[in-house]
Chain A
Amino acid sequence: MRTPATVGAAPLSERLRWGARLTAQGLRRHRAVFWMSAAGFACATVALAACLALARAPGAGVTAAGSTQLVAFLNDDLPPGERDALALVLRKLPGVAGVRLLPSDEALGRMRAELGSRAALLDGIEDGFLPTTLEIALRPGPQGAGRADELAWRLRRMAGISDVDVLRNEADHRLVTEQQTSRRLRLGLVATSGGLALAALLLVAALARRRRADAAILEGLGFTAWAVSGPVFVTGAAAGAGGVSLVLLGLRLGERLISLPVLAAVAAAAGRALGGGRGQAGTFAAATLLGGALAWWGTRLPRQTGRGDQLAAEM
């Protein structure tokens, strides 16, 4: 038996050995937590890659090229002075190339011209049959044609305007539809990522309690703060690195092995979205650090004081 003697700091080699041993123990003891954390990081990486891939997809940043026009139908009882004032306001809106007031008689004349030989159908119709309209030409680009639907929605709510039509050519119409679909997909992915992040936070909060209990025991036995949080940090970092590695490996294999061209293209796009080799290394490093920091944070939260668990919190 050894004679009792006080000990101070342990030799570095022994500290490292025990650190490795406690880390391995921690991985074994909390393996379900480890795999759940890794899965959380994997899901978050997939969501991030998908968002980036959609944002960088061809056409994602392109807006309607031109010839987009809004036609605002004015109320019959709108005084001419207010029509002009309204046109003046609309001209000042960003993205508006020009506004032209089309009186009722001119609209009827245009309709006659378009009908050609069948213009006789309009014989006997009064001059005020068609409403006075404002033809609003929008500039190409995100502030103009890209905001056509939003502008139309706003104009419909303005006093003096009974309705608004959006006129686009076929190509622009298809482009807008694709953009809307892409936006919905992105929103869906962001919501999914947010949900996953919330679930991960709840998981971390639940784990923090257990980690705090473990930390309280170890600190009570004489482990330093570094000795307590070091293995926890390494475990969390391993979960982050493991989750991202699984995704990157999956993307590489998917690109090469999946026979369906669509899926292979998606895998390739997601891989590229993460920024190629350098970007993927950055993602890997970020997930490793984040995993470690989250796990470490779990041990550092203020503890409840209780019997035998004072740990000199007041000191």
Chain B
Amino acid sequence: MLRLVAVTLRLGGELVLDALTVEARAGEILLIEGNRGAGKTKLLEVAAARRQPDAGEVWIADHDVTALQRGSLPFVRRNIGFAEAAPRFLSRATVLENVMLPLAARGEPAAWAREAAVRALGKVGIVGLGAHDPARLSSGARRLAAVARALAGVPPLVIVDDPSASLSAVDAGAVLSAMCGAVEGGAAVVCASADGAFLAAATAAGARRLRLDAGRLVPGVGTMVALPGRRAHEPRADRAEAALDPLAQLELGS
């Protein structure tokens, strides 16, 4: 679904991404881990067709995005659910209206779009906030709303930057569960995080991990975690929730 080939990005003369080659297949979660400044966010922006690399190719659904004209980019972006690290919403519009927007861009019928948006809000546990103004929500609720917007309608490619930021363990578990649900539906999910607990939980749920350091992939990191009785890259929503649920952890500990 997503393939980055020898992608290089420079910002202000500084090398941010150094000839990265990464692939995310349909039906898997690809975790990009790394410290702050490792280039995770820039990598996601390139993958989401928000930023043009200086060199390399970005293939999304068998289309080389770097070769497209600017006018064609919206048709690529509408197939990508992207939750930014600092999500932005239309002001004075409700959370539900914001979550419906990607579906509007795709030209889905309004009734179905509404239903899908409510379902996406329900997956991250904020269906009750649908009528609220995003500007008045806490940062955690805004993050959940952004993830819901990225997942609404289950686009083929979902990209989430720092999904567990300012979230409780329960909410982070809900996000991971929703991401697993999208993967089970056939989407490819790429997310970047520096949160150890979230990375561990996602790995336990079957996510593939890549480590990024100073714009380069760290060799030897990026193995798939094989879960008993499941495909190597097939995530499990139930395990994801359990891994981040404090009550479950208490039970496991006892």
Contacts and interface: CB of A to CB of B under 8 A. Distances in A.
A312 to B, nearest CB: 6
B92 A220 contact: no
Interface string B63-103: 00000011101111111101011101111110001000110
A218 B51 CA distance: 16
B250 to A, nearest CB: 33
Contacts of B101: 217-218, 221, 223
B235 to A, nearest CB: 15
A292 B143 CA distance: 35
Contacts, number: 124
A7 B51 contact: no
A214 B108 contact: no
Interface of B: prevailing SS = loop
Interface residues of A, number: 43
Contacts of A308: 45, 50, 84-86, 88
Nearest to A11: B107
B187 interface: yes
Interface residues of B, number: 48
Contacts of B166: none
Interface string B212-251: 0000000000000000000000000000000000000000
B41 interface: yes
Nearest to A13: B107
A17 interface: yes
Nearest to A7: B106
A315 B61 CA distance: 20
Interface stretch (B31-39, B149-157, B194-202): B149-157
A29 to B, nearest CB: 4
Nearest to B156: A4
Contacts of B70: 312, 315
A215 to B, nearest CB: 10
Given A3-B185, A5-B156, A222 B106 contact: yes
B91 A210 contact: yes
Given A222-B102, A312-B73, 6 more contacts: A4-B154, A7-B79, A221-B102, A222-B76, A222-B105, A312-B70
Q: Which 7 A-B pairs have the closest CB atoms?
A: A10-B107, A222-B78, A222-B105, A4-B156, A222-B77, A29-B92, A14-B107
